[in-house]
Amino acid sequence: MTIGAQLYTVRQFTKTPEAIRETFRKIAEIGYREIQVSAFGSISHEQLKEYADESGLSVVLTHIPQERLLSDLDDVIYQHKLWGTKYVGIGSMPDKYRGSLAGVREFIKTFRPVAQRLESAGLHFEYHNHDFEFLKDGESRLFDVLAGEFPETGFILDTYWLQHAGCDAAETLSRLSGRVPCIHLKDMAWDVKPIMAPVGEGNMNFTAIYAAAEKAGTEHMLVEQDECRCDAFDALKISFCNLKKAGF
């Protein structure tokens, strides 16, 4: 498994081409060689590829807005082929589908053709979880329906949000073995309420998570911290150093 940085963590520094170039330089300086592109400002696919290559960074995963997946899929495919990026992620289930079995099934119906088209192009559709997917509607947990009735999708399992939902991240990885090529690593600490923390600085059992990810066939472990109590680049550096100490 390899480690990378989910650049949603530093989203306030990726709003212009010049800022993206400088962010790539800083990420590479920390030691990362893989990134996920998410919540970037306007930049051409070609220029982003140029800047990533310049800093020695590979784009291994994206989060693509639902509107582009549904109405601009040809360009999404071109973008990923240009970047050499296999995994096409959706960052969350759109609001209108959340909270009920009927909504989840409508999401599946809407996005199954997207997943199938990506698969035919040699790419893979990946769903990123939060905590709301683990609500129950009657006797059924929404996430179980999503996984069971949408075999065309893989999952970007997020360690923090799994624990926030009361799930065991290592057990969930094991249960979805073969369908989790990428995971998001973020730790959970406690300060009156749960807070996001750099990997290794909170209370999560990452030894078990790493072992489960290895067995599940995970390829890329991407550090993400939506909210940082220190400089976002420093948070990514702390996570990187702790991952290196763990042998990655």
Predicted confidence (pLDDT) per residue in 131-151, tens digit: 999 999 999 999 999 999 999
Predicted confidence (pLDDT) per residue in 178-197, tens digit: 999 999 999 999 999 999 99
Q: Which residues contact 45 (CB under 8 A, 6 or more apart)?
A: 78, 79, 82, 83
* pLDDT for res 239: 98
How many CB atoms are closer than 10 A to CB 65? 14
16's tokens: 């212009």
Asked if 108 and 125 count as a contact pair (C-beta separation under 8 A), the reply is: no
Q: Please tell me the CATH superfamily of domain 2-245, with its number.
A: Divalent-metal-dependent TIM barrel enzymes (3.20.20.150)
* pLDDT for res 186: 97
Per the prediction, the chain carries an average pLDDT of 97
pTM of the predicted model over 0.75? yes
Give the domain ranges of the chain. Answer: 2-245
d(CA 53, CA 33): 10
Torsion angles phi and psi, residue 189, rounded to 5: -110, 180
Q: What is the mean pLDDT of residues 8-27?
A: 98
Determine the Cα angle at 154 with ends 107 and 70, to 5°. 40
Q: What is the mean pLDDT of residues 78-100?
A: 97
Predicted confidence (pLDDT) per residue in 37-78, tens digit: 999 999 999 999 999 999 999 999 999 999 999 999 999 999
How many CB atoms are closer than 10 A to CB 39? 16
